[in-house]
Structure 1
Amino acid sequence: MNKEKQYIILAATGTILLTLIIGILMMTTHQTTDNDEATTATSSSTQTKKDSELDKVALPQLESKVTTNESEIKMTTTAGEITLKLFNQYAPLAVENFLTHTKSGYYNNTSFHRVIAGFMIQGGDPKGNGTGGTSIWHDRNKSIDSGHGFKNEISQSLYNIRGALTMANAGPDTNGSQFFINQNPKKPTQDFNKNKYPSKIVDAYQKGGNPSLDGSYTVFGQVIKGMNVVDKIASAKVKSGGEGSTPVKPIKITQITILKQAN
């Protein structure tokens, strides 16, 4: 009987130990599964998702038609004519500045002082060397331009695609009179987060432009005719000194004509 009792006790003890081992294994497996699920959930939540509203914004640069809330100008240069439309609705300060300077003849006989093939052409400096030019509010309205330029106007509707007319600046909110036209004719080589762009703008960038400038410079117009002239200016032979981007033979804006001004 003593032996039988010993067997019974041993069997019972073994059963208890086995039950404990199985329980521990099940708890460990459950915790591992929970951890894996938590990791997956965290990973999913950190992924950048595209804002569905981006594909609903207006994209006026992709239309050549000039609407009632847009202005139109013709830029006559020594290399040919360039027609652009201006976006009064999205960049009112930049457009007012440009049109007011245009009416006063401020840009007449100024040169494209900086041209970089595969990037952009820059002008709008009465000094012709990239150091000059002021806004129409300089010394007139300190609430708009305290002396360093007026503020950037960044819009989800406007981008530095090929042909975009953009304000040049020396840092945030230092816009004066200088501007540039994005000329790059090739698909940008740098990576950019497509989730931050409307799908149609992503497609437009496949044809050229400079997405690295988005968010730092005010886009206020778009070439609708004469990109061949922009390309011609960009391909001009430049001086080797300085920035190495000033045309050897000056290329000038002889006149800018306002064809239509939005109300």
Structure 2
Amino acid sequence: MRFLLALLSLVGFGLALPAHAQIVPDQATGRAAPPATTDKENLWLLDLSTGGRVTIWLRPDVAPKMVDRIKTLTRRGFYNGLLFHRVIDGFMAQGGDPAGDGTGGSDLPDIEAEFNYLPHVRGAVSAARQGSAPGAPAEVRKAAEDSANSQFFIVFTPRLSLDKQYTVFGRVIAGMEHVDAIPRGEPPSNPARIVRAYIAADNPPAFVPSAAPTELPAGEKEVTLPGT
């Protein structure tokens, strides 16, 4: 079954909340308040083979299930060594596949849709999900929408046509130059990898350039991009 990769984007900065603070509604907007951009429990760190660390601000206020999945898999070491297997210039870099070819996912259940108001702008990080053909029955579309698992991608340039169709769960707030340096290709001839992934609250070591693992475990699901 082919899967559709979603672009997720986050805008703005969060209210100053302590780590692990309960997310509460903002009385002015009726929306849950985002965590602070300094809340280490909601900062996802990706050390890339392109030469640096990328900091992604996670948004449990709009995508709690996907954020929890990212944290769970990161703390398992799931993302360590995974490559960016599909990278389209002017669009996005896709990763999070243990098979390394677009067919993989984790052993955890798929996650239901958490589509939200955040736009697919530069630096947005979004979940992959199954695609459905135009005119597909409602139950087929619903199953596709509820099929995010482990794959994600990071947006190079805005793709607002995907807004409210995919689960945006984070945004790059530092190190975007290392994302820009990811080699392009479908697949790239010399793909970049996530050397190590961390949650900042776990007190990771400072970034040190190193070689990523060369072998990846087999996977199950294929992820594709909108319009393919």
Q: Scaled by the length of structure 2, what TM-score is found?
A: 0.65
CA positional deviation for 1:63: 2.1
The amino acid across from 2:154 in the alignment is: I
CA distance in structure 1 between the partners assigned to 2:122 and 2:10 by the alignment: 14
CA positional deviation for 1:161: 1.1
The correspondence for 1:210, drawn from 159, 174, 190, is: 159
> For the structure 1 residues 162 and 73, does the alpha-carbon distance in structure 2 shift closer, same or farther, using more than 3 Å as the test?
same
Determine which structure has greater relative contact order: mean sequence separation of CA pairs < 8 Å that are 6+ residues apart, divided by chain length.
Answer: 2
> For the structure 1 residues 66 and 231, does the alpha-carbon distance in structure 2 shift closer, same or farther, using more than 3 Å as the test?
farther
Q: Is the 8 A contact 2:10 2:120 kept in 1?
A: no
CA distance in structure 1 between the partners assigned to 2:14 and 2:180 by the alignment: 19
Q: Is the 8 A contact 1:110 1:123 kept in 2?
A: yes
CA positional deviation for 1:119: 0.1
CA distance in structure 2 between the partners assigned to 1:64 and 1:122 by the alignment: 26
4+ long deviations beyond 4 Å: 64-67
Greater per-residue helix proportion: 1
Q: Which runs of 5+ in 1 are unaligned?
A: 1-58, 139-148, 185-208, 239-244
> For the structure 1 residues 232 and 81, does the alpha-carbon distance in structure 2 shift closer, same or farther, using more than 3 Å as the test?
same
The amino acid across from 1:116 in the alignment is: I
Greater per-residue strand proportion: 2
CA distance in structure 2 between the partners assigned to 1:237 and 1:247 by the alignment: 5
CA distance in structure 2 between the partners assigned to 1:60 and 1:246 by the alignment: 27
Per the alignment, in what secondary structure is the counterpart of residue 80 of structure 2? coil
Residue 150 of structure 2 corresponds to which residue in structure 1? Answer: 177
The correspondence for 2:121, drawn from 150, 161, 167, is: 161
> For the structure 1 residues 232 and 65, does the alpha-carbon distance in structure 2 shift closer, same or farther, using more than 3 Å as the test?
farther
The amino acid across from 1:224 in the alignment is: I
Q: Which runs of 5+ in 2 are unaligned?
A: 1-8, 19-34, 37-41, 132-144, 203-228
CA distance in structure 2 between the partners assigned to 1:107 and 1:66 by the alignment: 29
> For the structure 1 residues 135 and 221, does the alpha-carbon distance in structure 2 shift closer, same or farther, using more than 3 Å as the test?
farther
> For the structure 1 residues 237 and 91, does the alpha-carbon distance in structure 2 shift closer, same or farther, using more than 3 Å as the test?
closer
Tell me if 1:63 matches 2:13. Answer: yes
How many residues are paired up?
159
Residue 257 of structure 1 corresponds to which residue in structure 2? Answer: 198
Tell me if 1:151 matches 2:112. Answer: yes
The correspondence for 1:229, drawn from 166, 178, 186, is: 178
The amino acid across from 1:162 in the alignment is: R
The structure that has the greater radius of gyration is: 1
Give the alignment's Cα RMSD to 1 decimal: 2.1
Tell me if 1:91 matches 2:44. Answer: no
